[in-house]
Structure 1
Amino acid sequence: MGLNLEQISRVETITKEEFLRDYFIPQKPVVIERLIEDWPAYQKWNLDYINEVAGDKEVPLFDDRPINSEFKFNEPHTSMKMSEYVELLKKKPTNYRIFLYNLLKEVPKLREDYKYPEIGLRLLKKMPYLFFGGGGSKVFMHYDIDLGNILHFHFHGEKQCILFPPSETKYLYKVPHALIAHQEIDFTNPDLEKWPALKKANGYIANLTHGETLYMPEGYWHQMTYLTPGFSMSIRAMATRLGNMNKAAYNIFFMRYFDNIMRRIGGQKWMNHKNELAIKRTNKKNSF
């Protein structure tokens, strides 16, 4: 028995009116299969091309170790040249990922390869980020600090995406003062005896292949698994629901600073305390 996951709806193409009516207003995810077929990136972007235009760049790398008092959520564990990283991706499975990296700022040439879709979202033009991963590498279950609307474009290979709406937070063992679920949970194969509240959660799943676009609504939880080596780009629009805008402001201007202070004071004891609270609170809410 696994998670209660529904396949994300798929469309080949979509108009602005259809997107707003069927997905943005009701806040439902969708995979758009041919949204970016007219981008140069659709033809050009693969690992060889990235190596060609950015091989000399030093890139930050993350692995799958749990967040602890030493490394923050978005603090890299090591770095290497992009050329070395691409070679590693091609050679063997690796847990090393590039996460939330503005390679487009470092390599302006890449900006010529894409444009902003006219889909009804007020997309932030200065915040396109790239994400890379080796076959089998995973990004833990989390949601974004600004609770934004996200268009996630995938290139080179295949990637599995598991999503949960904000309504399911109470079942996901959310860590207090953080944006993550308890990191011992393997959302691709969860132990539902150890994490019983997950049985009540209803989410979505989809596999993305080259050139497909995933729309993730405001504040959606997401966990990604690279089934093969590949990379993705995300472009975002700010949250538009008042409650989400307020939560985003709280996260950005208070929560992350409070957590950083407590890390400095309490170290790993603070991290362990938060993880224990995640289990106690979730099980108590759900009568386990």
Structure 2
Amino acid sequence: MAMRFIFLVTLILSLSSYSIPNDRVATDNNHYLYPRNREVLYISGIENPYYSFDALKREKNICENSTTKQRICGLIEPLLNESRPSKMNYKNLQVEDSNLVIIGEMHPNISPKKIAIDIIEKDSSFTHLALEMFNQASQEKINDFQEGKITADELETTLSSEWSYNSAPYMELIIRANELGLKITALDNRKSVTQSDLSQNLIERDIIWAKKLTEIFKEDNSSKVLMLSGKLHSFKKFQQENSTNKIKTVVELINENITIKTKSFFVIEKREDNLFRRYIQRQETNETQLLLNHELLQPYIDGIIFSL
């Protein structure tokens, strides 16, 4: 149990305002996971997401008497004197001037859907909710729901037929977005609901998503879209200096045609132990291996929303 908390604390520290020394900046042969000045965010109501500053001090003592895990230990000292984070204020997201706000989720988790509801309730400028969960072929069903021609239960039947995860939290978001007057947009074109995001189909789907989102912004350049998707679709770019076959993200593909301002956030839950371990392992070994088991080097996002 203690190690689980240490992994959590170390991840939070590594995502904070701590700056990597100049000699540790990522190079072609040495990719670090976190760029400088990464923003760290917290869900409303979490007063003290750090496990314990006393625990940090104990861990520091362990580090001082050990020759192992120096990369992780090096993150503790600079942050011990940082002020404790306060409750997250929606304004901390700083998305007011963004055209596209992306929430990257682990699909089984409920909290990303609740966070999305919180965002659209507190920012009335959103015009669209774009969802990975629906295939574009289902757009007519979505339109029928928004026009009052079918019920929410009928739309949920459609969602359940093409999305293998619990539909209830998504429907809660969809119903609230509809009440707030957002246009709900289907993004995907999955060949199978069980097909892995780690396949070639990921790239093909991102191209389709980018085309749909580009249409929205070209039709009305004042549109503001909240997009909910899996994490692997939500990166703003992939750093692949040594790659001759660069993979482009949804955001990069959109910006080939028009220029938009984007903010992208991951939602990570405390219980995602294996995820924390992957982050930490990457920090320790400096390996150019995969984040989330995906063969792509250093991804970029704007921040992490921790659901503790």
Q: TM-score, normalised by structure 1?
A: 0.29
User: Which structure has more helix as a fraction of its residues?
Assistant: 2
User: Which structure has more strand as a fraction of its residues?
Assistant: 1
Q: TM-score, normalised by structure 2?
A: 0.27
